[in-house]
Amino acid sequence: MHTEASTPVLWVTGAGSGMGRAIALAAAERGYKVALSGRRLASLAGVARIVSERGGTSLTVAMDTSDPESVKHAHSTIEREWGTVTHVALSAGLNSVQRYWQDQSMQEFTSVVQTNLTGAALVVDSVLPGMRQIGHGTIVFISSVAGWRYAKDAGVAYSASKTAVSSLTKTLNGELNSQGIRACHLCPGVVDTDFLSLRPNVPGTEERATMLTPDDIAMTVQFVLDAPQNICLNELVITPVSAA
């Protein structure tokens, strides 16, 4: 556990459900102060209640990652309440049911890229000055195996945005490792969350039972967050163990 003097501040985007929720709860149990951001205040409030019940500390901040002013306001709120953001877990994500070249619209393509790529870059851009000032910081991009290798059903926009997140990670580590800032491109296989409802063919109970869980992702993210400062975990790919 962390002492009060060294309590790290973790900003989790997409914290109201799924992987973001699990990441926030796990980090709070480890003694992190956790800033919960997302568009659905009721969902964030539910996560905050659980954090409080478990003896943790959280701050609820409404935010739309696709809106630069919203990101700026959220970051300033966290800094005003707690000071410098030391850790970030970027879990906010979007996909579309119409995800193939034959049925996607460019409007949906833009929305997906805005959330998954541009929104992530906006959050990172907002926290970097503070991290540079204190000389350390850890950023975890919750990406996908579709950002690591071709996944035929992930979708055009989703695959493009997640692949580009890999480039964000590389530039951060290439430019800022020497200043104590490190980034990880975390690429999970399919995770059993509500996000699956955006699939053209929604998986059933039997198929979901073979998938990764939000808690699996939370455990992996915590491993990255807690890694010694001299270690940079550039990219992690995790998939469920295949059945025989």
pLDDT digits (tens, 9 = 90+) for 161-198: 999 999 999 999 999 999 999 999 999 998 876 766 66
Residue 243 located in a structural domain: no
Task: Report yes or no on 18 lying in a domain.
Answer: yes
**The domain spanning residue 79 has which CATH number?**
3.40.50.720
Q: Which of 32, 100, 150, 158 is catalytic?
A: 158
Structural domain range at position 204: 4-238
Asked if the structure places residue 191 within a domain, the reply is yes
The answer to whether residue 92 is domain-embedded is yes
Low-confidence ranges of the chain (pLDDT < 50): 1, 3-5, 244
pLDDT of res. 209: 74
Question: Is there a domain that residue 29 lies in?
Answer: yes
SS (H, E, C) the chain: CCCHHHCCEEEEECCCCHHHHHHHHHHHHCCCEEEEEECCHHHHHHHHHHHHHCCCEEEEEECCCCCHHHHHHHHHHHHHHHCCCCEEEECCCCCCCCCCCCCCCHHHHHHHHHHHHHHHHHHHHHHHHHHHHHCCEEEEEECCHHHCCCCCCCCHHHHHHHHHHHHHHHHHHHHHHHHCEEEEEEEECCECCHHHHHCCCCCCHHHHCCCECHHHHHHHHHHHHCCCCCCCCCEEEECCCCCC
Active site residue 150: no
* Residue 244 domain flag: no
pTM of structure: 0.91
Residue 211's pLDDT is: 80
Question: Structurally, how many domains does the chain consist of?
Answer: 1
pLDDT at residue 203, as a whole number = 66
